[in-house]
A = this chain, B = another copy of it.
Amino acid sequence: MKIENYLFSAKTSGLKKNGQLDLALIFSNVPLRVSAVFTKNKIKAAPVILSKKNSKNIIRALIVNSGNANACNGADGIKDAKKVMSLASEALNIKEENILICSTGVIGERLDTSKIENSLPELVKSLSEDGAEQVARAIMTTDTFPKVVVKNMTINNKNYHILGMAKGSGMIMPNMATMLAFIMTDLPLSKNLGDALFKECVKYSFNSITVDGDTSTNDTAFFLYPDADMYFGNNEPAYGSGKDSAFKGILEKDINYDIVKYSVGEVCFSLAKMIAEDGEGATKSVTVEVINAYSELSAKKIAFSVANSPLVKTAIAGEDLNWGRIMMAIGKTDARIKPNYVDIYINNFKIVENSKSLGFIGAENEKKIMSQKEINIKIDLKCGPSFFKVLTCDFTNEYININASYRS
């Protein structure tokens, strides 16, 4: 799990009480650009504010800690995050303005920067090409497994890589548990293309497990790539490292751009699916697809209404084919529908036609459908051309247990 020019490292600094990895560093040998998506929550954590500022600059490093979100700490929070950036700047011998920072964990407690300070020399020393999975472990909070995806793509007969990692669980949207996602590639792109591409990828992946604005204080997604623009003014090869020196990266929306977009999109979608499946206490992976809606917005509203309904989610946990709850969730949004023309399929089994039950399908069939680990709810609104798909999970007792005792 390597990716050219990227180095990784993770350590236990003591910010997590359980002695697990909680501090990580990603460093690039070459100057990068970042396309970033931050939380839309009005209460933003200090690292979000600082990273947002630096995201316009060249990027060389990303430092991230778990165990403490450094959110709701006022001016002290900004001071502490700046301290971490200054320490990293010194240890790596790069400018502060070229560093990104993320935090995740408990809110409202001061970040103990001395712990980071103590761990930094060792963290820098152990940077290596092979540390990506350790970094993915170090950013976990309530996650039950690290989330890493690697994908190759061939551009101009050369092989490039995309490496993505993420943390997040808790079914995100109703919970606002923090999501962090870092996607890296060794393929140079121009910043404006990277921004356009990542925005689209996020829409159909991370934003299909959360909704605009309904995010935590710390949510952050970064897409990092060598800056293709930087090296073209003077006609130098883009980091000419054995790659085709005539090819300088993605500079326009051509066929190569489409390949990259598709590949980055796949990485993002895989990570989003892992997050949805790692819902706290979840036992089932659930997709809600709304098809033939008037507009994408109405498809999205209805998909989220169903996916976020505790009544629907508990019924799925109980393996109860309670389609009435799905109907309620469809009807309750302000999205336009034809109330008497809704069809519902569960795992491709049609159970509702024109808003009416097709009758009891028999206990055996019901068990067969609902005992599956993957539940697909498809809602055909028969209104228009638009669709939206949302990823989620079921809602179990374990969820309550985890969240009632999170801080203790």
Contacts and interface: CB of A to CB of B under 8 A. Distances in A.
Nearest to A217: B328
Nearest to A308: B174
B175 A324 contact: no
A255 interface: no
A265 B403 CA distance: 36
A355 B43 contact: yes
Chain copies in the assembled complex: 2
Interface stretch (A71-79, A117-125, A287-295): A71-79
Contacts of A404: 314-315, 317-318, 320
Interface stretch (A19-27, A151-159, A160-168, A333-341): A333-341
Contacts of A406: 315, 318, 320, 322
Interface in A355-388: 355-357
A243 interface: no
A322 B407 contact: yes
A240 interface: no
A211 B117 CA distance: 49
A92 interface: no
A210 to B, nearest CB: 10
Contacts of A329: 176
A297 to B, nearest CB: 15
Interface on chain A toward B: helix, strand, loop, or mixed SS? loop
B328 A176 contact: yes
A401 to B, nearest CB: 7
Interface string A108-126: 1100000000000000000
A43 B400 contact: no
Contact of A332 (B213, B331, B342): B213
A69 interface: yes
Interface in A214-256: 214-217
A44 B340 CA distance: 10
A250 to B, nearest CB: 35
A309 B352 contact: no
A323 B331 CA distance: 33
Interface in A37-54: 40-44
B74 A328 contact: no
A356 B72 contact: yes
A3 interface: no
A311 interface: yes
A324 B403 contact: no
Interface string A387-408: 0000000011101110111111
Contacts of A216: 328, 332
Contacts of A356: 72-74, 76, 108
Given A310-B174, A310-B175, A400 B405 contact: no
Contacts of A214: 332
A357 to B, nearest CB: 4
Contacts of A337: 42
A334 B333 CA distance: 17
A327 B43 contact: yes
A325 interface: yes
Given A43-B327, A44-B331, 15 more contacts: A43-B342, A43-B355, A72-B356, A72-B357, A73-B356, A76-B356, A108-B356, A109-B357, A170-B311, A174-B174, A176-B311, A176-B332, A214-B332, A317-B404, A318-B405
Interface of A: 40-44, 69, 71-74, 76, 106-109, 170, 174-177, 213-217, 309-311, 314-315, 317-318, 320, 322-325, 327-334, 337, 339-340, 342, 352, 354-357, 395-397, 399-401, 403-408
13 contacts: A41-B328, A42-B331, A43-B331, A72-B324, A74-B356, A107-B323, A175-B309, A176-B332, A216-B328, A315-B406, A317-B404, A318-B403, A318-B406
State the 5 A-B residue pairs at the shortest beta-carbon distance, nearest first.
A107-B324, A318-B404, A43-B331, A314-B403, A74-B356
